[in-house]
Chains A and B, each alone.
Chain A
Amino acid sequence: MAFRIIVLAKQVPDTRNVGEDAMTSDGTVNRAALPAIYNPEDLNALEQALLIKDKYADTEIIILTMGPPRAADIIRESMFRDADSGYLVTDKRFAGADTLATSYVISKAVEKIGNYDLILSGRQAIDGDTAQVGPQTAEKLKLPQITYAEEIIDIKKDKVTVKRRLERGVEVVESSLPALITVHSSAEKCRPKNAKLYMKYKHAKTPTELQTIADDYLNQSVRNKDYLQIEELSVDDLKCDIQKIGLAGSPTKVKKIDNVVLQSKDSKVIRDNDTEIRQLMQDLITNHTLG
């Protein structure tokens, strides 16, 4: 048995470590000041695909990412871990997309890649935390969705069994294939990069990147190897309906962005000694906060 798996992965600003310098004076976030990383739960999703490939060696893993040209990094990062190929969906006209417009474009790209058994993605991306793109893509493709997967227990030609992590428990479900599965952070962590694969794929390039390689010899040697080609897909390649992409295709509009204001109070400061703590407890009892 072998499977053709598409993994949806995103490059995100690392919002977990937002330093003072990452906030501009008007309270908005300076994206450029944040390091771009592989969205953590997308790595969990990639690992689930790799585990299937461990079992069924002829399995093919295709990475699909949408973003600016530098998001090609995500595809290389995946190749270093044993993904087979990748598509970068990139076009200035996609800018300003909300989750609905994004899922439309991703579903068009998935249709173009075609002939898949399974789509995997992270549950959510840390720059928005919406967890919407997975289910919305599933709906656009009319596929069953399985969210919050912790483990793919078993996969057969037309059936997958998945353990889901819910707020207060777990569920084991079975679905027909093809299906779309979103993977939870409690799933197996992704394996590290493999040194051999790194050597093999470090020159993998998109056509845009190839144009910037001045070294003719390197340029030619990359062009000669099929496995080093990262495909780029544009609005035209995907025959997208212009009304459904970018800002025009996004029903949600940002009305305004506010800084988080600290409403500070006059705090009474007391020290760690018997007198002050006894007084505090007495006050809490007297004013009926306690007791």
Chain B
Amino acid sequence: MNNICVYCEIEDGVVADVSLELVSKASKLASELNCEVEAVVISSGTEKIAEQITPYGADTIHIADDKRLHPYTTLPHAAVLTDIINRKKPQIVLVGATSVGRDLAPRIASELRCGLTADCTDLVIGDYSDPKSGREYKNLLYQIRPAFGGNIIATIVNPETRPQMATVREGVMKKEKTAKQHKTKIEKIDTMKILDNVNFAVKIIERHIEPRKVNLGAAQIIVAGGFGVGSKEGFDLLNDLAKIVGGEVGASRAAVDAGYADHSRQIGQTGVTVRPKLYIACGISGAIQHRAGMDSSAQIISINTDPEAPINSIADVTLVGDLHSVIPKMIKFYKEQSK
């Protein structure tokens, strides 16, 4: 049977959230397609990795453990993953749209001469009939993504080539443990048979990876600021509100570009996707690309001086006013009443 393969990214012995999200998604797609999920781990010191993946629904975990495989470099990871794909012939391969995934996936797609769709915002199984040949295809992967700067949504399919490959950004899919107990098989890969010197043309000399400071994906409450916040200092006010209500601070791209907030806080099509219980948008106009990352929030409050701001049309509550005056009041009344 042609299964679904998920490349799992590892940093500091921990599987990336985006990979677990993809295993969760794969396990849903697999039950629709009546096939299995195969996770792939390529790293070193992998003893504690499988147990992190199993609860999300992997039937098999392929593990390539070799000192030379961590930290990530393109060629050896590509060689190992290509080897697995060639042997197992999965129908679908999913990779996180991270700096690693976006480096790796195209290299492999080129080698396998298969289609690849970057930054999908949804993956759905469906049929396709080719308008030219009239041929019918059953159970293809619809790879849905924004195109043209987010102004349109395209549905892409790969009728003829296998595997069907897609990358997905963090937070787009939900990380969910499977209900049923999984008996996961572990398959060890002999890297000596796959890797040779040409795979090590690129050497890492220095590496500084900062620990993740913010985890917007896990936040239940997000106070997000846009260009309307006006300054870095303005974000202090948002921090204050986030702190007392137990939330995280997010930002629009315009606020990040202006230097008010760090890039790791960017929400939207080219940032992270979030779906908190409450999203408070402060001084954010609500461009398509921003909404793409937050419009499935359970509740949205928009604070904006402009009653016509596009964000207001998806907000449950629109607070028309200057955020510099509104937020201190929110803090004050919250403190008064939460006592």
A and B together in one complex: yes
State the A residues within 8 Å of B (CB): 13, 15-16, 18, 22-23, 27-29, 98-100, 103, 126-136, 138-140, 144-148, 161, 166-176, 179, 250-260, 262-265, 267-272, 274, 277-278, 280-282, 284-285, 289-291
Q: Determine the residue in chain A with the shortest Cβ distance to B102.
A: A131
The answer on a CB contact under 8 Å between B205 and A251 is no
Listed by A's residue number, 5 A-B pairs whose Cβ atoms lie within 8 Å are A99-B116, A131-B118, A148-B103, A257-B153, A289-B278
Q: Known pairs A27-B152, A258-B153, A280-B301. 7 more at Cβ < 8 A?
A: A15-B148, A22-B151, A28-B152, A252-B117, A272-B320, A290-B221, A291-B245
B: contact size bracket: 35 or more
Within the complex, which residue of B107, B153, B301, B325 is in contact with A136, where a contact is CB–CB below 8 Å?
A: B107
Give the CA-CA distance A161 to B178 in the complex, in Å.
45
Quick one: CB contact mask for B99-143 with A, threshold 8 Å, 1 for yes? Answer: 100110111011101111111000000001010000000000011
Q: Determine the residue in chain B with the shortest Cβ distance to A163.
A: B206
| B1: Cβ under 8 A from any A Cβ | no
The answer on a CB contact under 8 Å between A280 and B148 is no
B interface majority secondary structure:
mixed
The answer on a CB contact under 8 Å between A129 and B119 is yes
The answer on a CB contact under 8 Å between B119 and A140 is no
Question: A145-B74, A265-B313 are contacts. A129–B114 as well, Cβ < 8 Å?
Answer: no
A-B Cβ contacts below 8 A, count: 244
8 Å CB contacts to A: which residues of B132-189? 142-143, 146-161
The answer on a CB contact under 8 Å between A100 and B147 is no
Give the CA-CA distance A245 to B205 in the complex, in Å.
39
The answer on a CB contact under 8 Å between B245 and A290 is yes
| B329: Cβ under 8 A from any A Cβ | yes
The answer on a CB contact under 8 Å between A260 and B153 is yes
Give the CA-CA distance A173 to B73 in the complex, in Å.
10
In the complex, what residues of A have CB within 8 A of residue B98's CB? 167
The answer on a CB contact under 8 Å between B154 and A267 is no
| B192: Cβ under 8 A from any A Cβ | no
Give the CA-CA distance A264 to B149 in the complex, in Å.
21
| B207: Cβ under 8 A from any A Cβ | yes
Q: Determine the residue in chain B with the shortest Cβ distance to A27.
A: B152
| B318: Cβ under 8 A from any A Cβ | yes
Give the CA-CA distance A133 to B319 in the complex, in Å.
45
| B314: Cβ under 8 A from any A Cβ | yes
| B194: Cβ under 8 A from any A Cβ | no
The answer on a CB contact under 8 Å between B151 and A260 is yes
Q: Determine the residue in chain A with the shortest Cβ distance to B208.
A: A169
Give the CA-CA distance A270 to B143 in the complex, in Å.
40
The answer on a CB contact under 8 Å between B313 and A262 is yes
Give the CA-CA distance A34 to B43 in the complex, in Å.
45
| B321: Cβ under 8 A from any A Cβ | yes
In the complex, what residues of A have CB within 8 A of residue B210's CB? 168-169
Please give the distance in Å from A180's CB to the nearest CB on chain B: 11
| B44: Cβ under 8 A from any A Cβ | no
In the complex, what residues of B have CB within 8 A of residue A147's CB? 74, 99, 102-103
Give the CA-CA distance A95 to B120 in the complex, in Å.
24
Q: 9 tightest CB-CB pairs across the interface, nearest first?
A: A272-B321, A15-B149, A251-B115, A169-B209, A139-B110, A136-B110, A252-B115, A132-B106, A135-B106
The answer on a CB contact under 8 Å between B316 and A272 is no
The answer on a CB contact under 8 Å between A253 and B330 is no
